[in-house]
Structure 1
């Protein structure tokens, strides 16, 4: 998901440990300059067992629960109320008897007594806007889920207790391993105005045509996860940490006004009953063409908006082996579709988009093709997309569910749009459709580890954007784009391995930093071939299962034979930045060997030693030296040439030189220079050294030194290089691969770096997907 607004929470815990405690525990040799950063993770990872192996694969006794749903629901389009009845068949595949079951009631996030309405800090300033003050007034709106009935399969009432967003159902008899439990739950709730209340699901009201767009998500009571590594995941939903969910099969009956169009998780079972004959024919045509076909056209939408129906109809959707279900419903939806005929092994899913008139100029051109491109690219890097459909809905936000996601991207009233809106829309569609893979299929616990879905997904989003357009302005992924976050003071940072609710800088920490780390692993540390194989192994091993961070870390090493503990330790468990300085470059050439050269060098050194300021001034004063006035003082040594070459030495050297190979001769002749480079690790995060040599003849050379150069001294390192060309300059990390936060000390000789500032103006607040930048498309039309 791409967050609409950030919640500021206090810096907190990594599970139950502070970042400082984890850092202290991870030191193997405190106080030393080595023996810490390259030690194995050890107790920082959970122990392997019969459920999860030391290789990172599921164990021989791996298990997970299953929850199947049959749901009947109806939208009251007059009062904005959603009513539902559901039957859950829950299968206990665990080895444990269960005395109670936990159900998620996510809509209670909006309840009047919701914990998330009060636990954020607030303060008053001398100048406050009316909007800011209104936000501090707690209004009673009657939102939240109302449970009307909870019974078992025999319609006998079951005792239940609601704790905020979690409901515990107490079982009269323990649910034994291998047994099933049938639950019937009747409920309803007032649908919230998503544009006011925030959150994921809800409605958006369009005043101009008096219509609603319903994006229904987290809407029905859902089973919580019971797993081998933590038991029940019943951590409360407070708006940020997303979901841990159980796989199952769904059959959902959705009753709406008869002129509404419904898009949902899964496959519609009754298009023949809910579409008119023209729309049904278009649907069949869409499965045969290579371009998106409009099943519901813009003209259809305009007619539906002006002629509202008072009757109802029921759409029936089925979905197999999914962890959740969401849908969109409105009479103001254009719907287009395209069959993905190639690029996905063993599957040809339908890529589809639903969007309102204000999004038509962008979505008609880009959305469905972006969906198809995402499915093909992600399938290449992870697993072949297994589901029959993938849907993008324009809803002025960004959120993901199995086979369906909600995105932004609206044009101005004249149909023009800015470049920022265009690329932002394509990026968010790629991101949200990509979530079908992580975590909808590779089903990590988002409530606990946001980075396992957001970080991995943002990384693949970057690869997919770059395959869309070589000039795609990706915001996250390239190493240099995380620098501003990495250089923040330590009290504003926390490790990636931090619980969602405790992260201060949520977007940079949970999205950008892990995406950057994975890109560095792929491009700089492991190389593409090793990384891509290992990453696919992880996706294949944990498809339709519940992985943990340890499973990911172990699989990446197991499948590549690359020891990455130092990398996980630094990037995921720590907050140190990369800041490596090229401290000094010293050039050496071989001296000695050829007697003539040796004697010449000795003479130069001897004369240099004699040439003091006193000697110079004595000679300038035409001083009469005693040995010149009294020649009797002269002897053999006054006339002896101490630097003359002795014939025997020249003969011995020539014999030695003739026995050398050409490489050895080049060294003796001074054609090879030795450069000693000194490095300093100022930031603390060890990384490979990427060195660019610039020669006086205009050529360049790139050398890569493994991060292991720091293993015996994590603070300083020296390395000698032999070069046959004269070096003009040396540059560290020339392609900005390592996220070095200070590039001013990466060059020798030091180079002055120009700086600049920009006067920044911002008027008002942006609505999601809108931009304050200039609109060249609009300007061109007006000329």
Structure 2
């Protein structure tokens, strides 16, 4: 019993500590939100320092790949074999290694195909029924392992755990050693619009051709790190990948009339495209505008002829974390060379005729703009090329981004399709920096990949066009999400696949937080310097959230713990209320004589009128004295004495300084919980405006409310908080004085239905109506 009580006490104490660690002083109005991050971050060590930089003993693993793969178009099949050289650069002895078999997500026995939830409605389609148990449509899919051997061909012992595979090493792999092994494998390629997935093929019924997106396709090393050990969380189709850097040599055999876009550089390009195409490719290296390397007419002809012979493309890539490729005879290919910090880089695009007028105008130029802008804000782009492929998708790989955006059949497109295409291209090409170079682990921290990249996407969009309609980044766009009930929210620092609303949380809230830090909390100069420091420190390494937070704080000199604690670790919203406004003026500079009380009660008046009452002081005048005839004389004396003292102590020297000033006492309350700088827009009676910023530390001694006096030369006619909507305040009605909320408006629409494919312009557009392209 005693042992039980001790255990119970420890459990309760631990729970209480866990509950109180976020708020060090939970019963108080201060001492909580401005505390250091403390326990929320791991303890610095020799691998990761307190400044956010890699430590003196930082290490990471490495893996090189030599792959030979055949794309079987007739059967929609992949056949591959690879040799992997794994380098143990850790201080640990390894008895086994883990690989990712991501294509097993399509194996019908995989758990991700058994966790679908839903209900049966009154009206239901066959496709909806199939989604109740998606494994029913995946028979025959998944990875087939033909052979797993060491370098000498001796079979290795291995175990497949859904989308992961453990290879038991024949002998422990000591620090500094390398292990070479081989795998032969194959799998059936999925139709990505029927089966789903980031990779697969898309069929074009009008011409009978396929466009292949071959991704997550080869057995690849999982990350072994100092902060987690092996990252072998299952891939369920949501949170993406943690991967190890290395060099790749990949031979890709395809139908002879296919054009292949891939990670890295093609080392035998002259042998796999025509002489005319190769000459255009050379011209693109000195062109100021994109050059069509494979033309629209050539792509159209290839669609019709369908060559059944094969050819092999050879690609090499240095120091990348992954490899992917696209293949199709439908591809138009254009490109131009750009210069970034003295390095020549090919910006390229591959797209079918269905996207021609939109992509030929924008894609390669958007790729170039993205590389330039990200390079300015992070590190110079280090790779030799960056490609964008129209694949009705949005997904990223080193040097290769798969995007969307197709036109109407007449070549016109909607405004939404245009900006959707530009936005997704910036986003996916931008992923070259996060996480392909600054190599965070999205399986754990979805936001470190998507949030940082979406933030840089926002910067890039705004530098593309000053009126660009960005949908993520500006603070006011996140308020709808932050108004949700707490049971619908989770902190940004929630494990990847546990996030309920990935777009709102990992993309939008995380990127908005960085934008608030840049524009409102730290200022552009300090933030930009610190953010660039983070990118430089962790390029080609494996950072964690603590490394980012510590670097931003350390390099900027700004205490941002309060913001990180609230925005990234909490769910409280911003709701700062302007509760009252009081206006004061300095009194006239003269003495005020005492005024005796003149107020009489109703009883006094009625007693005087009552003839039956005989007042004692009237009946006996001896009762009258000095004070009878000098009512309030003592009070008058004290008042006059005080007036004399006041007259003597009045600050007549400074009176003129303050006599015409207006003193405004503003009272604020923190209704949302998340503290934030208070930004005030003053509107004066003469129509002019002024914006004043009160630092967040105004909440330091009282996190719930404060009052502050402001001295103004002019009379104020109106006050508004957060005029640029930069703090993500969820309630604008309590931010205005005088408080005159405007009614919300709504419109009545007829019911509409029907949705097109992702990125497909459909249903008419203004360009089409105007007869322009």
**Please, which moves more after superposition, 31-40 or 584-593?**
584-593
Please state how far the C-alpha of 1:754 moved relative to its aligned partner: 2.2
Change (3 A) 1:20 1:523: farther
**Please, which moves more after superposition, 462-471 or 581-590?**
581-590
2:353 is aligned, of 332, 357, 366, to 357
Q: Deviations over 1:462-489 (max 9, x none)?
A: 0100111111110100001001100001
Aligned 1:423-572 pairs, distance under 5 A: 423-572=419-568
C-alpha separation in 2, matches of 1:167 and 1:113: 15
Please state how far the C-alpha of 1:434 moved relative to its aligned partner: 0.4
Q: Which residue of 1 aligns with 2:170?
A: 172
Please state how far the C-alpha of 1:696 moved relative to its aligned partner: 1.0
Query: Quick check: 1:587–1:675 contact (8 Å CA) kept in 2?
Result: yes
C-alpha separation in 1, matches of 2:451 and 2:306: 43
Q: Which residue of 2 aligns with 1:666?
A: 657
Q: Deviations over 1:492-543 (max 9, x none)?
A: 1000001111111111010000001000000000000000000000000000
Segments of structure 2 that go 5 or more residues without pairing to the other structure are 1-13, 607-614, 616-620
What's the secondary structure of 2:693's corresponding residue? strand
Change (3 A) 1:699 1:87: same
Q: Which residue of 2 aligns with 1:293?
A: 291
Aligned 1:155-166 pairs, distance under 5 A: 155-166=153-164
**Please, which moves more after superposition, 547-556 or 709-718?**
709-718
Please state how far the C-alpha of 1:773 moved relative to its aligned partner: 6.8
Please state how far the C-alpha of 1:648 moved relative to its aligned partner: 13
Please state how far the C-alpha of 1:120 moved relative to its aligned partner: 2.6
Please state how far the C-alpha of 1:48 moved relative to its aligned partner: 0.5
Query: Quick check: 2:138–2:195 contact (8 Å CA) kept in 1?
Result: no
1:676 is aligned, of 640, 657, 665, to 665
What's the secondary structure of 2:194's corresponding residue? helix
Please state how far the C-alpha of 1:133 moved relative to its aligned partner: 1.8
Please state how far the C-alpha of 1:777 moved relative to its aligned partner: 1.2
TM-score by length of 1: 0.90
C-alpha separation in 1, matches of 2:673 and 2:487: 16
Please state how far the C-alpha of 1:128 moved relative to its aligned partner: 2.0
Query: Quick check: 1:349–1:388 contact (8 Å CA) kept in 2?
Result: yes
Change (3 A) 1:320 1:20: farther
Please state how far the C-alpha of 1:725 moved relative to its aligned partner: 1.2
Q: Which residue of 1 aligns with 2:317?
A: 319
C-alpha separation in 1, matches of 2:73 and 2:646: 104
Change (3 A) 1:128 1:92: same
Query: Quick check: 2:405–2:761 contact (8 Å CA) kept in 1?
Result: no
Please state how far the C-alpha of 1:23 moved relative to its aligned partner: 6.1
Please state how far the C-alpha of 1:611 moved relative to its aligned partner: 9.9
Q: Deviations over 1:28-84 (max 9, x none)?
A: 112222111111111111111010001000000000001000100010010000110
Q: Which residue of 2 aligns with 1:125?
A: 121
Query: Quick check: 2:407–2:413 contact (8 Å CA) kept in 1?
Result: yes
C-alpha separation in 2, matches of 1:464 and 1:20: 45
Query: Quick check: 1:482–1:508 contact (8 Å CA) kept in 2?
Result: yes
1:693 is aligned, of 682, 699, 702, to 682
1:90 is aligned, of 83, 86, 89, to 86
1:231 is aligned, of 229, 232, 235, to 229
Residue 112 of structure 1 pairs with residue 108 of structure 2: yes
**Please, which moves more after superposition, 306-315 or 767-776?**
767-776
Q: Which residue of 1 aligns with 2:185?
A: 187
2:757 is aligned, of 749, 753, 767, to 767
C-alpha separation in 2, matches of 1:340 and 1:782: 30
C-alpha separation in 1, matches of 2:676 and 2:523: 14
2:743 is aligned, of 750, 754, 762, to 754
Query: Quick check: 1:397–1:407 contact (8 Å CA) kept in 2?
Result: yes
What's the secondary structure of 1:78's corresponding residue? coil
What's the secondary structure of 1:349's corresponding residue? strand
Query: Quick check: 1:23–1:574 contact (8 Å CA) kept in 2?
Result: no
C-alpha separation in 1, matches of 2:17 and 2:335: 52
Query: Quick check: 2:335–2:364 contact (8 Å CA) kept in 1?
Result: yes
Query: Quick check: 2:116–2:131 contact (8 Å CA) kept in 1?
Result: no
Aligned 1:246-285 pairs, distance under 5 A: 246-285=244-283
Segments of structure 1 that go 5 or more residues without pairing to the other structure are 1-17, 618-625, 627-631
Q: Deviations over 1:671-707 (max 9, x none)?
A: 1122111111111111110011111111111111111
Q: Which residue of 2 aligns with 1:706?
A: 695
Query: Quick check: 1:19–1:574 contact (8 Å CA) kept in 2?
Result: no
1:72 is aligned, of 51, 68, 74, to 68
What's the secondary structure of 2:179's corresponding residue? strand
Change (3 A) 1:616 1:681: farther
C-alpha separation in 2, matches of 1:652 and 1:218: 84
Change (3 A) 1:613 1:265: farther
What's the secondary structure of 1:725's corresponding residue? coil
Query: Quick check: 1:346–1:384 contact (8 Å CA) kept in 2?
Result: no
Q: Which residue of 2 aligns with 1:33?
A: 29
Q: Which residue of 2 aligns with 1:412?
A: 408
Query: Quick check: 1:73–1:253 contact (8 Å CA) kept in 2?
Result: yes
Query: Quick check: 2:370–2:460 contact (8 Å CA) kept in 1?
Result: yes
Query: Quick check: 2:579–2:669 contact (8 Å CA) kept in 1?
Result: yes
C-alpha separation in 1, matches of 2:478 and 2:602: 56
Q: Which residue of 2 aligns with 1:136?
A: 132
* Count of residue correspondences: 743
What's the secondary structure of 2:426's corresponding residue? helix
TM-score by length of 2: 0.91
Q: Which residue of 2 aligns with 1:304?
A: 302
Please state how far the C-alpha of 1:666 moved relative to its aligned partner: 2.8
Residue 726 of structure 1 pairs with residue 715 of structure 2: yes
Say what the alpha-carbon RMSD is for the aligned residues.
3.0
**Please, which moves more after superposition, 77-86 or 745-754?**
745-754
Change (3 A) 1:84 1:655: closer
Please state how far the C-alpha of 1:717 moved relative to its aligned partner: 1.5
Residue 716 of structure 1 pairs with residue 705 of structure 2: yes
Q: Which residue of 2 aligns with 1:743?
A: 732
Q: Deviations over 1:718-763 (max 9, x none)?
A: 1111112111121111111111111000011111222111335441
